Amino acid sequence: MSKIPADLKYTKSHEWVKLGADGVATIGITDHAQEALGDLVYVEPPKKGRKLAAGEACAVVESVKAASDVYSPIAGEVVEGNEALNSAPEQINQDAYGAWLMRIKPANAADVAALMDAKAYEKFLADEAH
């Protein structure tokens, strides 16, 4: 069973979001997503300053047998991409909720609250499995 921390928000495309006290949202892929992809070998986080629409493909994660786009859960501007992942993509496999992909300044902070909570994501995963 993959981990689903209670204090995060989630998307149907398996991203997690954490809204910080500074109003910046930290975003990564869920434990379920890293497990499905397998050993990650390459990550391309978005560049700082890029303006994103909600649902826009903004990063790429690759394992040896799958490549997947990461979609921005909310609209906003990229404050920082996690360049440390370039040389150590396996960090996502080791700790999906520690190895964040990008930090976004939300266009509208309320957008984060509208995402799925842990319980809803858990149910979504259970439904998806059937």
Partner 1 sequence: MNAVTGLPMSSRTALDELEQHDAFSGRHIGPDAAEQQSMLKELGFATRAALMEAIVPAGIRRQGVLPLGSFTAPATEHEALNRLRRLADKNQVLKSFIGQGYYGSYTPGVILRTVFENPAWYTAYTPYQPEISQGRLEALLNYQQMVTDLTGLAIANASMLDEATAAAEAMTLVKRMSKSASDTFFVADDVLPQTLEVVQTRAKPLGIQVKVGKALDAAETDCFGALLQYPGVDGEVRDYRALAAALHTKGAAVVAATDLLALTLLMPPGEWGADVAVGNSQRFGVPMGFGGPHAAFLATKDEFKRSMPGRLVGVTIDSQGKPALRLALQTREQHIRREKATSNICTAQALLAIMASMYAVYHGPKGLKTIAERVHRLTGVLASGLKQLGHAPVNATFFDTLTVKTGADTAAVHRAAEEKHLNLRHVDASHVGISLDETTTREQVQALWSVFAPKAAQPDFAALEKQAAAAWPAALGRRSAYLTHPIFNCHHSEHEMLRYLRELADKDLALDRTMIPLGSCTMKLNAVSEMLPVSWPEFAHIHPFAPESQTAGYREMVAQLEEMLVACTGYAAVSLQPNAGSQGEYAGLLIIQAYHASRGEAHRNVCLIPASAHGTNPASAQMAGMHVVVVACDDNGNVDLADLETKAEQHKHDLAAIMITYPSTHGVFEQGVRDICDVVHQHGGQVYVDGANMNAMVGLAAPGLFGGDVSHLNLHKTFCIPHGGGGPGVGPVAVGAHLKKFLPNTRSVGYVRDAAGIGSISATPYGSASILPISWMYIAMMGASGLQAATETAILAANYLAKKLAPHYPVLYSGPGGLVAHECILDLRPIKETSGITVDDVAKRLMDYGFHAPTMSFPVPGTLMVEPTESESKHELDRFIEAMIQIREEIRAVEQGKLDREDNPLRHAPHTAEMIAADEWKHAYGREQAAFPVASLRKRKYWPPVSRADNAYGDRNLSCSCPPMSEY
Contact call for residue 120 and partner 1 (CB under 8 A): no
CB of 42 to partner 1, least distance (A): 7
Helices (H) and strands (E) in the chain, counts: 5, 9
Q: What DSSP letter does each residue of 53-68 carry, written as one string?
A: -TT-EEEEEEESS-EE
Q: Is 77 in the site for partner 1 (CB under 8 A)?
A: no
Q: Is 42 in the site for partner 1 (CB under 8 A)?
A: yes
Identify the sign of the CA torsion 46, 6, 11, 67.
positive
53 part of the interface to partner 1, by CB under 8 A? no
63 near partner 1 (CB under 8 A)? yes
Binding site residues, partner 1, CB under 8 A: 38-42, 62-67, 89-90
